[in-house]
Amino acid sequence: MSKRLFVGGLPYSVTNTQLEEIFAQNGKVTSCNIITDKYSGQSKGFGFVDMDDDSEADKAIEKLNGTEIGGRKIIVNVARPMEERSPRNFDRGRSFDAGRGKGRGRKGY
């Protein structure tokens, strides 16, 4: 069974290939994904690594957690399942014409 690992504290310059090479020293890496900003494409400084074998993943956690990459101390642990988020409400609860000089909110909005 495979295990997904969270890797935090990464330097923004680290690529998926570099991260995969680092973890491959401890076992077979199934996939590797550094999370990037959807607008700028820049790394957010964390990612996920899927390893084929649980014991190899545990070994990678033990060996790599707290080590330095590019002058930054990384965090490696088992990834938690993504929590479901509620949809964002961009109107902040106001109706369409609220605050447009109708007696509520700021005038001249």
Q: Which residues pair with 68 in a beta bridge?
A: 73
- Class in CATH terms, 3-78: alpha beta
pLDDT in tens, 30-84: 999 999 999 999 999 999 999 999 999 999 999 999 999 999 999 999 998 877 8
pLDDT at 8 over 80: yes
* pTM exceeds 0.85, yes or no: no
pLDDT-based confidence at residue 11 (cuts at 50, 70, 90): very high
Distances (CA, A) of 10 to 16, 47, 50, 70, 74: 11, 8, 16, 8, 6
Domain edges within the chain:
3-78
Secondary structure, 3-state, 16-60: HHHHHHHHHCCCCEEEEEEEECCCCCCEEEEEEEEECCHHHHHHH
Of the listed ranges 11-15, 24-28, 91-95, the one predicted with least confidence = 91-95
